[in-house]
Structure formats: structure tokens, C-alpha cells
Amino acid sequence: MIASMTQGRLRLRSGALKVEEIAREARERLLDLKGVVEVQVNQRVGSLLVFYDKARIGAEALLRRAAELLHVDLERLRAGAARADKALRTPQARRAVKAGMAGALILAVGALAVSGKAHAGAGVLFLALGGVHMVQNRRTLLR
């Protein structure tokens, strides 16, 4: 599944990458492609991070090659990213993020009197949920 994709950066997640031989081969073969600058593999979570020069290799060619190496259908890779994005935009997900932000804010203010660490932890949680909120509302946020 495509975990994230921006210009020059692609992150894929697959259970196959937890197998050392597959992860190593995928990394080596992707590094052989012209335009691929760096490949990082995290076997523990099954993640592959690819940095590439978009002028030398297109995202589509890179996705096709990664799908071949991982023995995954390219459409399944794309569908996984679409499902994840769609799940973030449901009314239930939006409500959950807003409720979480309100709860984290209340917790941060309350924790200020008790513990600096608890206050900082609640603040980090609030910021993380704020980031998710911004992603959910990215189309209308800066209008």
C-alpha cells in the first residue's frame, strides 16, 4: 500500500518487506534504477522509503517497479492509498479527530498544574491530531 507519496519521495508498506531477503532485494533493485537517490527499509514495520529525482524517473515507473518487486498488483497499491485517504475523510473520522483535539486541549490545560511531562504529552497529542485535522481539511483550509 502507498503510505505517502510526494514529489521525489515515496513510502510503501507491505508485509513482504518484513522478510529480510525480499527487503534487501527490493532495496538493491530500486537503487539500480536511474533517478533513485536513496532507499531506506524498515523491516520491523514493513516499510520502504524511496527518494528519487523526479526529472530522471517518474512516480508511475517507480510504482510499477516496486509493485513487481513486492509481487503486488499495482492497482492494489493504489487502492490501498485511496482507501486510507477516504477513511480519513468520513464524518465519523472528522468527529473523532475534533473530539480528540478538544480532549487533548482540556488534558493539556489540566495537566499544567500537575506535571510538566503530562502537559507536554497532551500538547504533542493535540499537535498530532491538529495535523490530521489539517490533512482532512486541506482543500478548504486556505481558501
β partners of residue 51 = 9, 38
Residue 140 in this model has a pLDDT that exceeds 80:
no
Tell me the mean pLDDT in the region 87-103. 82
Share of the chain above pLDDT 90, in %: 10
Tell me the mean pLDDT in the region 123-138. 83
Q: Which residue has the higher pLDDT, 119 or 6?
A: 119
The candidate with the shortest Cα–Cα distance to 57, out of 74, 78, 38, 33, is 33
pLDDT of amino acid 94: 81
How many CA atoms, within 13 angstroms, populate the side-chain half-sphere of residue 143? Answer: 5
Residue 71 in this model has a pLDDT that exceeds 80:
no
pLDDT of amino acid 87: 65
Residue 104 in this model has a pLDDT that exceeds 90:
no
β partners of residue 49 = 11, 40
The candidate with the shortest Cα–Cα distance to 135, out of 66, 86, 67, 83, is 86
β partners of residue 36 = 52
Q: What would the pLDDT profile of 10-64 be if each residue is shown by its tens digit?
A: 888 888 888 888 888 889 989 988 999 999 999 888 888 999 998 898 888 888 8
Tell me the mean pLDDT in the region 126-142. 79
